[in-house]
């Protein structure tokens, strides 16, 4: 075993003691980043080329600074995104949300699907849709200037970004020029109740922007606003896809009732079999 792999083993123990949820993965990812190789190539790094900056990075991670802030990158579906302070780090759970939206768009008999991504953050969902639904046109909306700056960086460095348009706006007033024309609205909004502050992992609580985390007393304030905005934007038969917390699977479907003009409202689960997002289809004007 070479020196780097031995140090990765030591770093794994250090991160585990610090309460990092995925210590081996993070130790390997930091080692690969510092040494400019892939995780599967760590064994190829000669002992003489071991870089002590690896331990600087490990100590930052042990202090619960997000891995993605240290490396400056986050992986989401088939994308490598630039992230850092000021933007929400996309989570694996949201990949399932984006995947459902992509599958639904592919099912539609629409030549150039029109999509709105509310609370876009790093533009992870918007760019995934643009990449995997090649003729789609995506409008990505966020209120936070810092998040929009990161989204702009990601959009400008990717070919599919040419079909993504950024908007700075509150979800309640976003994209009025698209009213009644949109095929699908998708969102990973802030949905954590403010009362859960002490239960949130430090990587999120201390580093992700407040605007991306807290959804009011019950966590559902922004989702309620998205319901009205989605109805305004969607054409008849269009779909809304909204992520929520795994303990909100009973409350969120009630925000999209038939009396508000929705049908086929379903709570869907993530890869851990936890309630993760709601989908609904616009069918009529509210009763």
Give the pLDDT of residue 109. 87
Which residues are annotated as part of the binding site?
Answer: 142, 188-191
Model confidence pLDDT, tens digit, residues 182-205: 999 999 999 999 999 999 999 999
Which residues are annotated as part of the binding site for substrate?
Answer: 188-191
pLDDT at 285 over 80: no
- The helix or strand, by DSSP H or E, that contains position 133, with its residue range, turns out to be none
pLDDT at 233 over 70: yes
pLDDT at 11 over 90: yes
Number of H helices, E strands in the chain: 9, 9
Give the pLDDT of residue 277. 97
Specify the pTM. Answer: 0.93
CB within 8 Å of 261: residues ≥ 6 apart: 231, 282, 283, 284, 285, 286, 287
pLDDT at 286 over 90: no
Which residues are annotated as part of the binding site for S-adenosyl-L-methionine?
Answer: 142, 188
pLDDT at 1 over 90: no
pLDDT at 138 over 60: yes
Check residue 285 and give left, alpha or beta (phi > 0: left; psi -120 to 50: alpha): beta
Give the pLDDT of residue 177. 98
Across the chain, mean pLDDT equals: 95
């Amino acid at each position: 075993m070479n020196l780097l792999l031995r140090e990765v083993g030591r770093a794994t123990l250090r991160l585990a003691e610090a309460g990092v949820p995925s210590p081996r993965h993070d130790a390997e990812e930091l080692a690969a980043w510092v040494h400019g190789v892939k995780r599967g190539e760590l064994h190829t790094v000669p002992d003489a080329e071991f870089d002590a900056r690896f331990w600087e990075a490990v100590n930052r991670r042990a202090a619960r600074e997000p891995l993605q802030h240290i490396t400056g990158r986050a992986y989401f579906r088939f994308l490598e995104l630039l992230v850092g302070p000021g933007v929400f780090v996309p989570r694996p759970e949201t990949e399932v949300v984006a995947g459902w939206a992509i599958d639904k768009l592919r099912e539609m008999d629409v030549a150039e699907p029109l999509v709105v991504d509310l609370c876009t953050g790093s533009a992870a969902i918007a760019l995934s849709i643009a990449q995997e639904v090649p003729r789609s046109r995506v409008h990505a909306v966020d209120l936070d200037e810092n998040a929009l700056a990161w989204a702009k960086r990601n959009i400008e460095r990717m070919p599919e970004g040419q079909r993504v348009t950024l908007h700075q706006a509150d979800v309640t007033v976003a994209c009025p020029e698209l009213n009644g024309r949109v095929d699908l609205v998708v969102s990973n909004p802030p949905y954590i109740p403010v009362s859960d502050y002490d239960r949130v992992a430090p990587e999120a609580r201390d580093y992700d922007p407040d605007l991306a985390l807290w959804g009011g007393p019950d966590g559902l304030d922004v989702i309620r606003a998205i319901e009205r905005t989605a109805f305004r934007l969607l054409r008849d038969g269009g779909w809304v896809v909204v992520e929520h917390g795994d303990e909100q699977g009973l409350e969120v479907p009630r925000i999209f009732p038939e009396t508000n003009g929705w049908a086929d409202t379903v709570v869907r689960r993530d890869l851990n079999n936890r309630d993760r997002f709601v989908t609904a289809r616009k069918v009529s004007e509210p009763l």
